[in-house]
Chains A and B, each alone.
Chain A
Amino acid sequence: MDFTYDDEQQALREAVRGLLATAYADHEARRRTVAAEPGFDRALWGRLAEMGILGLPFSESDGGVGAGPVEIGIVCQELGRVLAPEPYLSGVVHAGGLVAAVGTAEQRADLLGRLSAGDLLLAAADTSPGDRWAARADGVRASVVGDGWTLDGVADPVMGGESADCFVVTAALPDGGGTGVFLVAADDVSRSGYAAADLTRAATVRFEGSTATPLGEPGRDLAPSIATISDLTRILGANQALGVLQSQLRATTDYLRSRKQFGVTLNTFQALTFRAADMYVSLELVHSMVDWATMTIAGGDRDAVAEAADRVGLQVSRSSRHIGQEAIQLHGGIGMTAEYAVGVGTAHLAVLEQWLGNGPHHLARLAGRVDDHELVDAL
């Protein structure tokens, strides 16, 4: 049992941190990037491809690097640290993860090879209006037309969907046959892009007889794989949230040490320093849970990963509310401004949570299982 990074993992963290610092050295750079098209930095995306970061989750035979969850978690933490708007979690971890999980060898090599090289942007369309984190789609329906497939319906929100070249779509199969996964080119849909609350880009995607290519064996119910990839994305999203939370506490303590009111710095007020101490407690607890959930992925047991996703989802929700809200409060008015990273971080935390599964959702799932076990063991 070990909670430390090895030298290679440490080097990966430093390399990613260094690269991100060239694009988002300060929050103003992030503001400019999200205000312009396409809402993220394409040059940075190319550098991430060159470094092998886009191919990290995928096996070498699929054109990737074959790294483990800890390495991908490191990247997500660093992205969170600077609130990078790049569609890594949505495009690589989630959409790429779906292709890796259900695609044929040929589909994987083609799509993941191009994704890893930075030549193809994917987005996962798995949510329709009214859906709440379900692996079973019904807002988009698949039909067999001649010897091909078409899709009809609406997906929204599609995170990272505004610039995607292709969509990886979960859709209801005919005759109650479960849920399939399809690839649809952006040319075959109508889409309206928009910015989410944290100014990262999403889209409404409408399918009207859109030509679709089944991923994997046509007509097979893939709901279990879809659920597992959502769980993986949930856990890696928790890594991203952890990066945000660490930045927020650092910014808050820096601010308390430097900001003066009544002629003294704010850290002379115990009412404030004790609240910062409580933020630290929350941060350490969620950090432990994120590391644990990430290591659980490496174990390869789907049920254990689903459980870890719920546990880390609940913990990260609680700490996101606590630290995210206190970070703004302890900063005062400046924490409310768009020009300051702290409050925007809180917006990003809210988006991550409602996208990937919020606290009440995960708590309800855990509450449903409290009599399945006598006690919960970490090891």
Chain B
Amino acid sequence: MMGTPPATPTTRSHMQLALSPRDAEFRDRMREFFTTKVPREIRDTVLEGRHLTREQIVASQRILNAEGLAVPHWPTEWGGQDWTELQRHLWHEEMQRAGVPAPLAFNASMIGPVIAHFGSEEQKQRFLPATANLDIWWSQGFSEPDAGSDLAGLRTAAVRDGDDWVVNGQKTWTTLGQHGDWIFTLVRTDPEVKKQQGISMLLIDMTTPGVEVRPIELIDGGHEVNEVWFSDVRVPGDLLVGEPGAGWTMAKFLLGNERVGVAPVGATKRALATLKATAADQLADPLVRARVAELENELLALELTALRVVAHSSDGAPHPASSVLKLRGTELQQAVSELALDLAGPASLAARAGDDSPQEGWARRSAPTYLNLRKASIYGGSNEIQRQIISRTILGL
């Protein structure tokens, strides 16, 4: 211990805080790439909490994809990288830290891995390169008005007609569906069997007649999510992934992937750092300093827990504690947005004022951001679902 002459220098690899030279070099390479190759304007848009355009999201993902950094967790034959869990974590953290938009989750984290794992060779050839490069923008068609956390209760039906499927029903909460080229859907192909066993995964071209996207206005005033209606939409049979009835297995596979990347530690750290800089004059208030210090400490505990989880994950199976990351990560994301709102004060009222507003941009965005982030504890398996997973799977209750 400190204060005593050092014992024999420790060379063991266990209980070490520092990155190995190899991992440190990897992190530096990521940091270098993200901060120099992705346009400043895109990164500033993210760091300042403004909305990205479709073009910016596409441009950023293509820069990453050209470097092999868009879909590192895919199989290597389809553009993945043979990285360790820790390296994936570092890639993700450095990306957030630099303000680089994460590759579109619907493509990179959701349908891409599903097609790579369950799809036919023809589907892989047709969709995976275009999905990685965001030549196809995917939307997610899972939730329905009566099927939220209880997803297996979904009712959108696909009925066989010759080689085709004919789809009728309604999906909802389709994030950025207004940009979508294709939508991956869970549809009921067999109403007779147990509800989980009658579900299939169907890929639908959103330009097909009978597909209609209707915007949902949210409490932040933005248009982020949509309803998607299907009226006698005819879908060729070769667009069903895997076997009919295997959709629930794929959904669980997909949602398991979703949860791992859902704790936005790096982005929340960055948001707090930005807030400290932009609202620096308010740091004179000891109560503000205490809130900042408390949040920084909680974020450190969360980041360390994320590192423990990646260090203990094997074979890509999520560590059970990944529910902790989702639960606490979204709570802290929300808490930082609350602090921003409080620091903005009356300036936050100018949320929908014109460009000639005398209020600063960050302050004007604070109320919409605060309201928008209430979603974080609902999506990706609501935080109550996470508590259920913890109490049942981990605690055995």
Complex A-B, nearest 7 residue pairs according to Cβ-Cβ distance, in ascending order: A101-B3, A66-B7, A288-B304, A6-B14, A273-B391, A366-B293, A277-B390
Task: Check B292 for interface membership: any CB of A closer than 8 A.
Answer: yes
Cross-chain contact B397 with A9 (CB below 8 angstroms): no
Cross-chain contact B14 with A9 (CB below 8 angstroms): yes
Instruction: Please give the distance in Å from B122's CB to the nearest CB on chain A.
Output: 42
A364 to B3, CA, bound (A): 27
Task: Check B162 for interface membership: any CB of A closer than 8 A.
Answer: no
What are the interface flags for B326-350 relative to A under an 8 Å C-beta threshold, 1 for contact and 0 otherwise? 0110000000000000000000000
Query: Given A3-B311, A274-B391, A370-B292, A68–B17 Cβ distance below 8 Å?
Result: no
Cross-chain contact A68 with B289 (CB below 8 angstroms): no
Task: Check A173 for interface membership: any CB of B closer than 8 A.
Answer: no
Query: Given A5-B14, A101-B4, A273-B395, A281–B327 Cβ distance below 8 Å?
Result: yes
- Which B residues fall within an 8 A CB radius of A? 1-8, 10, 12-20, 23, 86, 269-270, 272-273, 276-277, 280, 283, 286, 289-290, 292-294, 296-305, 307-308, 311-312, 321, 324, 327-328, 384, 386-388, 390-392, 394-397
Interface of B is mostly: helix
Cross-chain contact B294 with A2 (CB below 8 angstroms): no
Instruction: Please give the distance in Å from A351's CB to the nearest CB on chain B.
Output: 23
What are the interface flags for A251-278 relative to B under an 8 Å C-beta threshold, 1 for contact and 0 otherwise? 0010011000000000100000110111
What are the interface flags for A66-93 relative to B under an 8 Å C-beta threshold, 1 for contact and 0 otherwise? 1111101000000000000000000000
Task: Check A285 for interface membership: any CB of B closer than 8 A.
Answer: yes
Cross-chain contact A101 with B397 (CB below 8 angstroms): no
Interface of A is mostly: helix
Interface contacts beyond A108-B4, A281-B327: sample of 20 additional A-B pairs, CB < 8 Å, sorted by A: A3-B308, A58-B4, A68-B1, A70-B15, A276-B391, A277-B391, A285-B301, A285-B305, A287-B305, A288-B301, A294-B15, A299-B17, A302-B2, A314-B297, A366-B294, A367-B292, A375-B273, A376-B300, A378-B307, A379-B19
Interface positions of A from 352 to 379, Cβ below 8 Å from B: 363-364, 366-371, 374-379
Query: Given A367-B290, A374-B273, A267–B397 Cβ distance below 8 Å?
Result: yes
Select B1's contact among A2, A60, A284, A297, beta carbons within 8 Å: A297
Task: Check A210 for interface membership: any CB of B closer than 8 A.
Answer: no
Task: Check A213 for interface membership: any CB of B closer than 8 A.
Answer: no
Q: Which residues of B contact A280 (CB under 8 A)?
A: 324, 390-391, 394-395
Instruction: Please give the distance in Å from A343's CB to the nearest CB on chain B.
Output: 20
Cross-chain contact B13 with A59 (CB below 8 angstroms): no
Q: Which residues of A contact B286 (CB under 8 A)?
A: 367
A24 to B299, CA, bound (A): 37
Task: Check A22 for interface membership: any CB of B closer than 8 A.
Answer: no
